[in-house]
Amino acid sequence: MNYLEVFGTLVGLVYLWLEYRASIYLWLACIVMPAVYLVVYYQAGLYADFGINVYYLLASVYGWIAWSRGRKKKNIQQAEEETPITRMPRKVYFPLTAVFILCWVVIAWILITWTDSSVPWTDSFTTALSIIAMWMLARKYVEQWGAWMIVDWVCCGLYIYKGLYFTSALYGLYAVVAFFGWRKWLNLMTEQAYNQTNKE
């Protein structure tokens, strides 16, 4: 049994719960989990997943700052407000898709050329889409859940193939919870819009 993988799975469950609640503290779990999986993925020969966890560490710092920046205090009595959940603007779809395709091809080329990866295209696909999804999460776009659902289902199969059964189970759970997370964020977005209207 890979105890480091088990620990990473437990941290992942904490992260999932915090993300579902749209809590800013998800970024703290998102710092610990990549540090653990850097070792797990390297040992499994999943080099793109290894690389994406370096990105996760950096993106977590950005996410914490981006979400914190949305907080404001108008007076002592008023509670803090975080950056609101919103829909992704339509003008972002095309450039974001282009960035995804570019990342996918470049990462796949790197894996094929410089590593002994046995799953370069699948590994690079989940890595490229994770880069996009992480940015969407940092911007607090509700559509990030859809991107994560795709990543999670593909990763679930990939990790079974690579023998990472605890991690595969975690990502299978991610995929299921992502659906409910999407619905939860839609409700939170509606509540935020209602509260904002009442304040005005």
The 10s digit of each residue's pLDDT in 41-80 is 888 888 888 888 888 888 888 888 888 876 544 343 344 4
Contact 66, 138 (CB under 8 A): yes
Per-residue model confidence (pLDDT) at position 81: 57
CB 103 within 8 A of CB 52: no
Contact status, residue 147 vs residue 129, Cβ threshold 8 Å: yes
105 Cβ contact list (under 8 Å, min separation 6): 124
CA 72, 76, 79: angle at the middle one, nearest 5? 50
At 1 the pLDDT is 61
Angle made by CA atoms 172, 100, 26, in degrees to the nearest 5: 50
For residue 179, give the amino acid letter.
F
Token reading at 91 = 């003008």
Kindly report the three-state secondary structure assignment for every residue of the chain. Answer: CCHHHHHHHHHHHHHHHHHHCCCCCHHHHHHHHHHHHHHHHHHHCCHHHHHHHHHHHHHHHHHHHHHHHCCCCCCCCCCCCCCCCECCCHHHHHHHHHHHHHHHHHHHHHHHHHCCCCCHHHHHHHHHHHHHHHHHHHCCECCHHHHHHHHHHHHHHHHHHCCCHHHHHHHHHHHHHHHHHHHHHHHHHHHHHHHHHHHC
Please give the Cα distance from 196 to 137 (Å, whole number).
22
Question: Which residue type sits at 42?
Answer: Y
- Walk along the chain (200 residues) and give the pLDDT tens digit of each residue: 678 888 988 898 898 888 888 888 888 888 888 889 888 888 888 888 888 888 888 888 888 888 887 654 434 334 445 678 899 999 999 999 999 999 999 999 999 999 888 999 999 999 999 999 989 988 999 999 999 999 999 999 999 998 889 889 989 988 998 999 999 999 988 888 777 666 65
